[in-house]
């Protein structure tokens, strides 16, 4: 093997494009954006990143979930050209900081567990904090590969990305023209064929379609392609629109997340309370917080079933549903508020055993 071949092989291995969880999270949170627009045949010119905010004619557009899937199926290289290292470089948190936080939170959870095992009382504040720590721990595990605190999306402005963007922005008429042009180019086996349709958008879209042409009828991009710019890099900006199963996963997460948070509060079920009424209220609040998500899911499912079975009209059920969801959300907020307030109020009524320290968790390295 010659030196040049060996060098090329090493280089290929080092820069092998790939798409992992980091890319997927970044795409889902709106991290990949196209730079437009094409109104009035405005040509896209190479500009610096700083010109986005100063030039009112240009906007960054974030693809919708279906569009992301379409791009990944047909033009994956425009995402994989942006390396994982580049994405992680923009994130404000590193694996080390996440690991340190997890160790600290895990120490607190172990501390609570060792108190229970040594029959030492847990104060309500510790129970509330344990619930928060437990949820934080789960969130960190789920978001381990997510690039957190990225301030701005990555603008894709390479030629191939602009071609894909032009294709996504095409109307039906323009798409047909672009397809025709791509077929003409493929027949002539030359991408430098002069355009006959005039528009630069069509010209660029034809360039993108050329990559798909070996297929007789290339798949058309989805009709509605871009999210509002306000959704960029915001939490939960995408819903699971593509999921079509028996049970919607969003329903499951709506039910499960309050259960995970609320269940921890049951640790204080038999705790000492200032008054019996407060104990009753704590127990009721724990129950409300735990079951609120499940109740919401049941209410929505029941409403859907009633409409499908023609028992109640759609308009009436919509009003009832809104009222029910508002009532459940209000009860949840009220119960959560009480749990927090009560956990601080109990501090004035703690018995002496609450101040004893458990021995096990002292061996765990932690910050105080």
Partner 1 sequence: MFITLLALEYLLFLAINERINAGILLRKVLKSHPHLVKPGMLAGMWDWIHSRVKSKEVSTQCQSSVIC
How many other β-carbons are positioned within 10 Å of the β-carbon of residue 178?
A: 26
Give the interface segment with partner 1, choosing from 68-76, 100-108, 201-209, 297-305 (CB under 8 A).
68-76
| Residue with Cβ nearer partner 1 (72 or 300) | 72
Which structure tokens are listed for 322?
Answer: 């809104």
Which structure tokens are listed for 62?
Answer: 């974030």
Q: Should residue 31 be labelled a site residue for partner 1 when binding is judged by CB under 8 A? A: no
Residue given tokens 């721990």 in the structure block = 137
Q: Should residue 231 be labelled a site residue for partner 1 when binding is judged by CB under 8 A? A: no
Q: How near is the Cβ of 243 to partner 1 at its closest, in Å?
A: 7
Q: Is-contact 129 2, C-beta < 8 A? A: no
Q: In a 10 Å sphere around its CB, with 0-12 CB exposed, 13-18 middle and 19+ buried, how is residue 34 labelled? A: buried
Q: Should residue 236 be labelled a site residue for partner 1 when binding is judged by CB under 8 A? A: yes
Closest CA to 223 of 171, 161, 282: 171
Dihedral sign computed on CA atoms, order 348, 350, 352, 358: negative
Give the residue, chosen from 240, 301, 313, 318, that forms a contact with partner 1 under the rule CB under 8 A.
240
Give the residue, chosen from 28, 91, 106, 287, that forms a contact with partner 1 under the rule CB under 8 A.
28
Q: Should residue 183 be labelled a site residue for partner 1 when binding is judged by CB under 8 A? A: no
Give the interface segment with partner 1, choosing from 34-42, 139-147, 270-278, 298-306 (CB under 8 A).
139-147
Q: Should residue 18 be labelled a site residue for partner 1 when binding is judged by CB under 8 A? A: yes
Give the residue, chosen from 6, 10, 11, 17, that forms a contact with partner 1 under the rule CB under 8 A.
17
Q: Should residue 107 be labelled a site residue for partner 1 when binding is judged by CB under 8 A? A: no
Give the interface segment with partner 1, choosing from 32-40, 47-55, 223-231, 246-254 (CB under 8 A).
246-254
Classified as helix, coil or strand, 16 is: coil
Q: How near is the Cβ of 140 to partner 1 at its closest, in Å?
A: 9
Helix (H) or strand (E) holding 155: strand 154-156
Give the residue, chosen from 135, 281, 306, 331, that forms a contact with partner 1 under the rule CB under 8 A.
135
Angstrom distance (rounded) from CA 142 to CA 129 = 20
| Residue with Cβ nearer partner 1 (67 or 346) | 67
Q: Should residue 258 be labelled a site residue for partner 1 when binding is judged by CB under 8 A? A: yes
Size of the site for partner 1 (CB under 8 A): 50
Q: What one-character-per-residue DSSP string does 24-86 give?
A: HHHHHTT-EEEEE--GGGPPP----TTHHHH-TT-EEEEEPHHHHHHHHHH-THHHHTS-HHH
Binding mask 112-131 for partner 1 (x = CB under 8 A): -------------------x
How many other β-carbons are positioned within 10 Å of the β-carbon of residue 38?
A: 20
CA distances from 36 to 131, 156, 225, 234 (A): 45, 10, 13, 21
| Residue with Cβ nearer partner 1 (90 or 257) | 257
Q: Should residue 139 be labelled a site residue for partner 1 when binding is judged by CB under 8 A? A: yes
Angstrom distance (rounded) from CA 122 to CA 115 = 7
Q: Should residue 90 be labelled a site residue for partner 1 when binding is judged by CB under 8 A? A: no
| Residue with Cβ nearer partner 1 (72 or 232) | 72
On the question of a cis peptide bond just before residue 43, with omega within 30 degrees of 0, the verdict is no
Q: Should residue 29 be labelled a site residue for partner 1 when binding is judged by CB under 8 A? A: yes
How many other β-carbons are positioned within 10 Å of the β-carbon of residue 174?
A: 19
- Provide the binding-site residues for partner 1, judged by CB under 8 A: 17-21, 24-25, 27-29, 65, 68-69, 72-73, 76, 80, 84, 131-132, 135-136, 138-139, 142-146, 235-236, 238-240, 242-243, 249-250, 253-254, 256-258, 260-262, 289, 293, 333, 336
């Amino acid at each position: 093997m010659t030196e040049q071949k060996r060098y090329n092989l090493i280089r290929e291995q080092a820069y092998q494009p790939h798409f992992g969880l980091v890319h997927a999270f970044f795409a889902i949170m709106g991290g990949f954006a196209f730079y437009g627009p094409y109104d009035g045949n405005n040509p896209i010119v190479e500009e610096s990143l700083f010109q986005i905010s100063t030039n009112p004619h240009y906007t960054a557009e974030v693809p919708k979930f279906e569009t992301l899937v379409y791009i990944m199926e047909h033009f994956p290289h425009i995402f994989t050209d942006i390396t994982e290292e580049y994405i992680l470089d923009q994130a404000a948190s590193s694996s080390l900081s996440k690991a340190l936080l997890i160790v600290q939170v895990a120490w607190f959870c172990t501390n609570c567990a060792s108190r229970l095992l040594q029959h030492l009382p847990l104060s309500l504040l510790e129970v509330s904090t344990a619930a928060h720590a437990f949820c934080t721990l789960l969130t960190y595990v789920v978001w381990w590969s997510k690039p957190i605190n990225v301030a701005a999306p990555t603008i894709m402005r390479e030629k191939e990305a602009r071609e894909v963007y032009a294709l996504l922005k095409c109307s039906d008429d323009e798409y047909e023209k672009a397809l025709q042009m791509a077929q003409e180019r493929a027949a002539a086996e030359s991408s430098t064929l002069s355009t006959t349709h005039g528009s630069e958008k069509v010209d660029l879209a034809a360039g993108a379609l050329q990559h798909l042409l070996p297929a007789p009828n290339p798949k058309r991009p989805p009709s509605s392609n871009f999210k509002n710019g306000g959704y960029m890099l915001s939490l939960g900006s995408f819903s699971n629109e593509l999921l079509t199963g028996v049970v919607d996963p969003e329903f499951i997460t709506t039910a499960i997340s309050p259960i995970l948070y609320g269940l921890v509060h049951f640790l204080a079920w038999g705790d000492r309370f200032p008054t019996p009424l407060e104990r009753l209220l704590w127990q009721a609040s724990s129950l409300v917080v735990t079951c609120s998500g499940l109740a919401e899911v049941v209410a929505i499912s029941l409403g859907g079933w009633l409409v499908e079975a023609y028992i109640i009209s759609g308009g009436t059920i919509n009003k009832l549903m809104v009222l029910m969801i508002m009532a459940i959300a209000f009860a949840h907020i009220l119960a959560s508020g009480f749990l927090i307030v009560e956990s601080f109020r109990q501090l004035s009524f703690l018995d002496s055993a609450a101040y004893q320290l458990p021995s096990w968790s002292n061996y765990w390295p932690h910050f105080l």
